[in-house]
Amino acid sequence: MTFTNAGTVLLIEDDEIMLKVIERILLKEGYQVLVARNGKEAMQRLEQGGFNLVITDLMMPYANGFEVISKVKSSDKSKGIPVIVISSVGNEDSIMEGFRLGADDFLKKPIMAGELMIRVKRLISTSKS
């Protein structure tokens, strides 16, 4: 188990299993994790700040992932924070819309945990530098 704080990740996911698994993997890799289970909680977390990376689902109750990306990228406080989208919606329009709004990466479910970790590490180190 790693105890160093490699960064703080805001994880937004309404699927309890995905949320729990990704949270455990991130914790194991030494990240601190803030979680939000729907769009409403996500918006509150975004107001509070204190994270280096956002991982978000697209389809969620109250506010969808696109609104989350817009919120992150429109605020001066958080616009430099990278956003990874994880979604089962993998059509071209959704991917393009996500990138157009400022998402930095897109992973389609089912995902590979190892691949997610590499992308998280890369984006956090890029944003820190």
Binding footprint of other proteins on the chain (CB under 8 A): 15, 17-18, 20-21, 24-25, 28, 109-115
CB of 108 to other proteins, least distance (A): 10
* Cα-based distances in Å from 89 to 51, 57, 99, 108: 26, 9, 14, 7
Q: 81 or 87: whose CB is closer to other proteins?
A: 87
- Strands 8-12 and 53-56, by their bridges, are parallel
CB of 76 to other proteins, least distance (A): 34
Q: 13 or 104: whose CB is closer to other proteins?
A: 13
Q: 24 or 77: whose CB is closer to other proteins?
A: 24
CB 107 within 8 A of CB 86: yes
CB of 123 to other proteins, least distance (A): 20
Round to whole Å and give the CA distance between 124 and 81: 8
Q: Which of 10, 117, 20, 7 is nearest to 68 (CA)?
A: 10
Q: 10 or 116: whose CB is closer to other proteins?
A: 116
